[in-house]
A and B are shown apart, each in its own frame.
Chain A
Amino acid sequence: MTWFIDHLGEVWDLGRQHAVLAGLPLLLGLLIALPLGWLARRFRWLYAPFTAGFGLLYTIPSLALFVILPLVTGRGILDPFNVIVAMTLYTVALLVRTVADGLGSVPGAVTNAATAMGYTPGKRFFAVELPLAVPVISAGLRVAAVSNVSIVSVGTVIGVQQLGLFFSDGFNRQFYDPIVVGIVACIVLALLFDAVILVVTRLLTPWLRATGARA
């Protein structure tokens, strides 16, 4: 506890960087997964290769990815940009299927009605399909958020600034306080992400809580 209080500033700094490294890719990944998921839905033959193919990205060991990516991006091995790219890939891996299935969960009668009202496909996507897919997409996003928070800590191996550094520090010194603090901080961060996603989802889906008054 004293160790924690003594290193509060450091925990805060690394925590913030951890949040950026895990959170920014969450948004980028979602933005990339939306059109990919839409394509997988729009063209039936793309569904299997897209969901399986992008899903496979998730099986690439993070350690390997962190080491290989600097060669691909041409940035220095310590550049957080590499971590952002890697985490975005993992997010996309998890979300393409989620987005496709979320869009698939929209009742056919509703999309049909939207088309018949005179929505162009683009307008229909944003006005009808995407809002209705929010609950499913949000569920996938919560999984991706937790996964990102956990995987980012592997960045320790290549020395990227984030909460995982407490683990290596603790292991090197056979001193458990930083490890415990690092784990707790990761859990708190994951819970925070989860809470944010939940709140945003609630704000976007007022109709799901409209109950009763059926008369």
Chain B
Amino acid sequence: MIVFDGVTKKYPDGTVAVHDLTLEAPTGKITVLVGPSGCGKTTSLRMVNRMIEPSSGTISLDGKDTGRMKASELRRGIGYVIQHAGLFPNRTVLDNVETVPRLVGMGKKETRDRAMQLLEQVGLGADYAKRYPSQLSGGQQQRVGVARALAADPPVMLMDEPFSAVDPVVRDQLQDEFLRLQDDLGKTIIFVTHDIDEAIKMGDQVAVMRVGGYLAQLAEPAYLLAHPVDDFVADFVGRDRGYRGLSFQAAPRLPLASERTITLGESARDVDDDWVLVVDGDNHPLGWVEPRRIDGEVTSERLHRGGTVARASGPLRAVLDAALSSPSRRGVVVDDSGALVGTVRPHEVLTAIEEAERPVVENPDNPGAPAA
């Protein structure tokens, strides 16, 4: 557990970057610090490994005051991932990953094995071990950055906008993979971002900070979306928060209708409907077609692919989106293997949403206050 206790950072010119911050980052969880630029989120992060020294207050790691530890020793026990990965350009991928184990004097063989295994874990095979960072894409460099931070198996990780510099598709992928990794590893993580969507996706709890280094609200993502403490947080959390809040609500049992399907290559002529769902040989949905406007076999080019697909075990948001985006207004729902289970109509999803529970306000006098 990382505990900030009344931490303030004031620079000699009088600027206050962080103002009396008190915060707990629980063991094994991801705590996200989010806020606009100038809110002190990065400063707060960098005070944990003493890249920046607090002006007052203490930060403790599992009860030990970090201010009393030797800075270099402290840092070797904390994984650190930054925006552009910050890899050493003069070292191969493998050497980069081996940095901290070597610093702490881990055995050669053990270091090597661990580094190779980590590269595998972050999705880079042995082929990449001997390459230099300049030979990798931004996303790959970031993966190496994560592997390097994990190399000495530190219990704590600090991540400073780790996925901000890559394109949205890769970012999404890296986020998902990192969350899967974290499921296994259970590191205590402080994660800084300016992107509220990323904060809500990655955080077990989210600390919204405001300019001047004030903690505006600390809450679980669903709670934050449902009950922002004030106008600033409401504004920062942004539009569509009702819709986004559905990300945190598992879909209840929906009244799924079975769907008449045809497989690719079949004729759609004898289907008596405006739209029909096309599936592949494994019953995985591919897209919709309009039977009346197709002569002969259904080919891949004729498919309408606008509709999204929701997993039955996934969140309500995906189910609603599937229903709204489907050209037939029938949302496609699949099981975990991706096989079709049935379809659901928008009004049925809305009924399910009405019946679903919302996060309960913990303190009615101050709905956004962190739980005591």
Contacts and interface: CB of A to CB of B under 8 A. Distances in A.
Nearest to A132: B90
B134 A207 contact: yes
Interface stretch (A1-9, A114-122, A163-171, A189-197): A114-122
Contact of B86 (A109, A123, A206, A212): A109
B248 interface: no
B135 A132 contact: no
Given A110-B86, A110-B88, A131-B90, A118 B135 contact: no
A16 to B, nearest CB: 35
A117 B135 contact: no
A210 interface: yes
Contact of A109 (B73, B82, B131): B82
A211 interface: yes
B100 A118 contact: yes
A173 interface: no
Contacts of B91: 207
A44 interface: no
Interface string A151-162: 000000000000
Nearest to B148: A117
Contacts of A128: 88, 90
B132 A210 contact: yes
Contact of B82 (A112, A205, A206, A210): A112
Given A132-B89, A207-B90, A210-B131, A118 B136 contact: no
B103 A118 contact: yes
Contacts of B73: 118
B135 A210 contact: yes
Interface residues of A, number: 25
Interface string B58-85: 0000000000000011111010101110
User: Could you say which of A116, A123, A214 has the most chain B C-beta atoms within 10 Å of its C-beta?
Assistant: A116
A113 to B, nearest CB: 3
B131 A117 contact: no
A112 B89 contact: no
User: Could you say which of A107, A110, A112, A211 has the most chain B C-beta atoms within 10 Å of its C-beta?
Assistant: A110
B87 interface: yes
A27 to B, nearest CB: 22
Contacts of A64: none
B51 A205 contact: no
Contact of B100 (A107, A115, A117, A206): A117
B72 A120 contact: yes
A106 B211 CA distance: 31
A212 B100 contact: no
B89 A118 contact: no
Contacts of B78: 116
Contacts of B83: 109
A117 B132 contact: no
Interface in A92-143: 107, 109-110, 112-120, 123, 128, 131-132
B164 interface: no
Given A114-B88, A117-B99, A128-B88, A214 B51 contact: no
B137 interface: yes
8 contacts: A109-B83, A113-B87, A132-B88, A207-B90, A207-B132, A210-B134, A211-B134, A213-B135
Ordered nearest first, which 3 A-B pairs have the shortest CB separation? A113-B86, A118-B76, A118-B75
